[in-house]
Structure 1
Amino acid sequence: MTEFSGFPADLFRFLEDLRANNSRDWFNDHKARYLESVVEPMSAFIVAMQPRLRSISKHYRANPKPHGGSMFRIYRDTRFSKDKTPYKTHAACQFRHERGRSVHAPGFYVHLEPEGLHFGGGIWRPPGPQLTAIRDFIADNARSWARIKNAKKVREVGGIRGESLKRPPRGFNAEHVHIEDLKRKSFYVMSEAEPEAALSADFPDTVTQGFQRAAPLTRFVCDALELEY
């Protein structure tokens, strides 16, 4: 595997072409291009992130394997979707907590598409018991939560995000100071950048800064779920 020197510009051209030709026949005809422009540089990027991730927490894994590692598959799950196009039109990877077995575990995430880049950390749609544990931890540690959500580095990128319920969750005080956060079904902090940033050999450093910005949130989530950090 070659050292990471930036994603190739063809990564974004490939994704644009795939969006315009989202079919199995087209993809199979361009499989070699997909491997060269997406899979191989993503694997090199994940390797480059290994020591940087360990500097944040030794309990998150950066696995460069194309299948079963940190890289997301490009194949869409269309079983329960009205959109039956077979392929995703973005590239992404998740550095998951070592005790996590799915995308719903605490982790750090990188998303690349022609419109822009997103990278950060937190937890996406945890199952019911874990979500309740996080909400309970927020309710019981209101000051610590306030310090995290009001930190300048967090506010600079739009604060803690995540889709929310319309009403307060059952069992929680509707007047709680953090009720808007208690309504959330996901909790994450995301930084953004223009696509050109991914073409640089310095992109792993840029992503690491985004991960560091999200690190207090991921630590809080791990504490709520009694996971090592």
Structure 2
Amino acid sequence: MQLSPLFTFLAGLAMHNDRAWFQERKAEYTRLRADFEEDVAFWRQELNRLDPALAGPLGRTSVFRIYRDVRFSKNKDPYKTHFSAYFTASAGKDIDAPGYYVQVGPGSTLVAAGLYQPDKVQLAAIRQEIDYNADDLRAVLGAPGFRQYFAGLGGDRLKKAPAGYDPAHPEIEFLKHKSFAVSQEIPDAEVLAQKDFRGYVLARLEALVPFCGFLREALEG
């Protein structure tokens, strides 16, 4: 991926987020997106090796469109100012199974994984797994390879204990989570300094494999 040209293009798009500016530079956008898709294909290939679930028949990669859905948003800018992709072992909706996410753009580069806003059945299953096997989750989140890049479990949380769980439960802070995700935001200077951005991102994706495995095991029972 040509990081410097990509960041220059996306920074310009942030300043001129309108159709006329974009259409004048559509050819440049197409070239940059093709470069990104090559990197996505590489990450997919490596994730298939690292996480066998992704290599199965339901494995899916989504390279997201740059066009924003503005129907229900106060922000009517028509274009996103980043490129992004999601890798999952599900053929259904992009968010219905644990997966890996890569986003690249000025001020918004990150690598993440997990399950965002699971439904009630999924949420109950993950909480049950934490209730029964919290040591497994702690081992995943405390592994040196994970801690090298990620601070810990993120995502939205309840203010109080979820229904059916004692507020004094030893794992109550985990159980309060409504989403189960981890992420690392990466400064622009660090991104642009990389000579091997593919490998840089891959190292972080590899560190996330056990976390996705824990969530998937919880959901599969």
Q: Same fold (TM over 0.5)?
A: yes
Task: Show CA shifts across 1:207-227 (max 9, x none).
Answer: 221112111110010001118
Percentage of pairs with the same residue: 35
TM-score when normalising by structure 1: 0.84
Judge conservation of contact 1:189–1:213 (CA < 8 Å) in 2.
no
**Match among 6, 9, 12 for residue 17 of structure 1:** 12
Q: CA, structure 1 residues 166+72, in 2 after alignment: closer, same or farther (shift >3 Å)? A: same
- Cross-structure match for 1:36: 31
After TM superposition, the structure 1 = structure 2 runs for residues 58-207 of structure 1, keeping only pairs within 5 Å, are 58-60=52-54, 69-115=61-107, 117-156=109-148, 157-195=150-188, 197=191, 200=194, 202-207=196-201
**Match among 201, 204, 208 for residue 210 of structure 1:** 204
Give the SS at the match of 1:92. strand
Gapped regions of structure 2 (runs ≥ 5):
none
Q: CA, structure 1 residues 12+208, in 2 after alignment: closer, same or farther (shift >3 Å)? A: same
Judge conservation of contact 1:164–1:186 (CA < 8 Å) in 2.
yes
**Match among 4, 21, 27 for residue 22 of structure 2:** 27
TM-score when normalising by structure 2: 0.86
Task: Show CA shifts across 1:77-103 (max 9, x none).
Answer: 222221121111111111111344323
Q: CA, structure 1 residues 170+198, in 2 after alignment: closer, same or farther (shift >3 Å)? A: farther
Task: Show CA shifts across 1:184-229 (max 9, x none).
Answer: 12222223434453675622222221112111110010001118xx
Gapped regions of structure 1 (runs ≥ 5):
1-5, 62-67
C-alpha distance in 2 between matches for 1:8 and 1:147: 35
For residue 136 of structure 2, what is the amino acid of its counterpart? S
Shift of 1:29: 2.3
Task: Show CA shifts across 1:23-54 (max 9, x none).
Answer: 222222222121112x1111111122233112
Give the SS at the match of 1:110. strand
Structure whose residues are more often helix by fraction: 2
For residue 181 of structure 1, what is the amino acid of its counterpart? F
